[in-house]
Amino acid sequence: MVKRLAVLGATGSIGQSTLDLVAHHPERFTVTVLTAHRQVEPMVALCERFAPKMVVMSDPAAAHALRQRLSAVTWASGITVADGPSALSESVGRDDVDLVVAGIVGAAGLSAAITAAYAGKTILLANKEALVMAGVLMVNAAKAGGATVLPIDSEHNAIFQCLGENYRCFARPAGVTRILLTASGGPFRTWEKDRIDAATVHEAIHHPNWSMGRKISVDSATMMNKGLELIEAHWLFAMPEGDIDVVIHPQSVVHSMVEFEDGSTLAQMGAPDMRTPIACAMSWPQRIETPVQRLDWKAARKLDFEPPDHARFPSLELARASLRSGGTASAVMNAANEIAVDAFLNERLRFGQIFQVVEHTLERLTGKASAVPDSLESLLSVDDEARRTAQHYCEQLAA
């Protein structure tokens, strides 16, 4: 059976990797929905190549420009262009969508992920911020709608592969004692604290092993990415943070490990290329061929493992503390991080100040963040307050 995809964030790094696999296997996959924020010309090219039925641009001006571009060509007559957040959510609930690839970066992807969960879709989740912000709402929505979430974040996909038939999303797998999330350590792994503090945007977004969008690249440099992934693993595999360890593994060959009660530890390995975890989830429970480079075992190879350094990279401890606080603390942390990373990328904040903004916002809002969110609206109001607090502090630091 041909699987019909909605690719959210189609113009981004995850979107591109997904569409590359669709092009590689036209007999297995078709595209029903493509979405992006405001990249009109890249979207025109994707429309011509993949002939979706519906395109959503979250920015209305970009949607207007896209409609004009598509009205000038005959091949686009079957494509509907919609705009705004509600269109984004509607697009994932369509009957002619089987798989939803959640590849939007940040909080902007949350509503569509929740709608897809209520609609009972199979969700290929890259947008970790959705789970970090609203783990409990995602779990409830998936249970109510009968949705399946398959992780494509490489670490979580590695764990998913190690679990095999034991995987049930949002349930603790039988016989598992520990999850070991591997982390490359990012571009500043070996740097002194002062040098990290003054790192430039160019230095922060050049990851040693992975090619990714700008926000997640900065998150990898602060190691907040691993903090977000710890929270993502907590929800996906229903494991307490104390049973999830982080191991620095600079080569990015082992993508994560699972320790079982009999003493076995299983690891998943591969080249650092997102097309492997995405293909694994797209074709699950089967496997499909990909053009990904194979590991060369004829060459001498070393795999190193070391513990993380919390003094230089406080993000992991902040993430653990937010999980222990419960309620909306992780959402507060995520919102503050999004604001701080954006300020850093726009050169309004020093790299080291990203940690300060997150810490400050968590301290200010911890008391208010203790209640478990009962609705998307209550969560978004906490998110909004955290963003305003973080923004205000960024301005103070920049003054």
Q: Residue 211's closest CA among 180, 187, 246? A: 187
CA distance linking residue 127 with residue 338, whole number of Å: 13
CA distance linking residue 155 with residue 249, whole number of Å: 12
Q: What share of the chain is helix, strand, coil (3-state, %, to 5)?
A: 50, 15, 35
Cβ–Cβ under 8 Å, residues 182 and 162: no
Choose between 253 and 364: whose C-beta lies nearer to ligand NAD. Answer: 253
Cβ–Cβ under 8 Å, residues 160 and 283: no
Cβ–Cβ under 8 Å, residues 33 and 4: no
State the nearest-atom distance from the C-beta of 125 to ligand NAD, in Å: 9
State the nearest-atom distance from the C-beta of 154 to Mg ion, in Å: 5
**Which of ligand NAD, Mg ion, none sits in contact with 19, Cβ below 5 to 8 A by type?**
none
State the nearest-atom distance from the C-beta of 395 to ligand NAD, in Å: 22
> Per CB under 6 A, which of residues 114..133 are in contact with ligand NAD?
126-129
> Which pair of tokens denotes residue 284?
């699950």
Cβ–Cβ under 8 Å, residues 247 and 181: yes
**Which of ligand NAD, Mg ion, none sits in contact with 216, Cβ below 5 to 8 A by type?**
ligand NAD
> Which pair of tokens denotes residue 149?
């979430």
Choosing from 6, 63, 79, 108, the residue that interacts with ligand NAD (CB under 6 A) is 108
State the nearest-atom distance from the C-beta of 378 to ligand NAD, in Å: 21
Total of chain residues touching Mg ion, rule CB under 5 A: 3
Q: Is 81 in the site for ligand NAD (CB under 6 A)?
A: no
CA distance linking residue 207 with residue 195, whole number of Å: 16
Q: Is 274 in the site for ligand NAD (CB under 6 A)?
A: yes
State the nearest-atom distance from the C-beta of 237 to Mg ion, in Å: 15
Q: Hey, is 160 helix, strand or coil?
A: helix
State the nearest-atom distance from the C-beta of 216 to Mg ion, in Å: 8
**Which of ligand NAD, Mg ion, none sits in contact with 191, Cβ below 5 to 8 A by type?**
none
Q: Is 13 in the site for ligand NAD (CB under 6 A)?
A: yes
Compute the residue count for the chain.
399
Pairing of strands 254-260, 176-183: antiparallel
State the nearest-atom distance from the C-beta of 298 to ligand NAD, in Å: 27
285: number of Cβ within 10 Å = 7
Q: Is 153 in the site for ligand NAD (CB under 6 A)?
A: yes
> Per CB under 6 A, which of residues 186..225 are in contact with ligand NAD?
210, 212-213, 215-216
CA 153 to chain centre: 6
CA distance linking residue 51 with residue 329, whole number of Å: 42
Q: Is 105 in the site for ligand NAD (CB under 6 A)?
A: yes
Closest residue (Cβ) to ligand NAD? 12
Q: Is 232 in the site for Mg ion (CB under 5 A)?
A: no
Q: Is 103 in the site for ligand NAD (CB under 6 A)?
A: yes
> Per CB under 5 A, which of residues 131..190 are in contact with Mg ion?
153-155
Q: Hey, is 268 helix, strand or coil?
A: strand
Q: Which residues pair with 101 in a beta bridge?
A: 7, 124
Q: Is 58 in the site for ligand NAD (CB under 6 A)?
A: yes
Which residue ranges make up the site for ligand NAD (CB under 6 A)?
Answer: 9-15, 36-37, 39, 58, 103-105, 108, 126-129, 153, 210, 212-213, 215-216, 274
Which residue ranges make up the site for Mg ion (CB under 5 A)?
Answer: 153-155
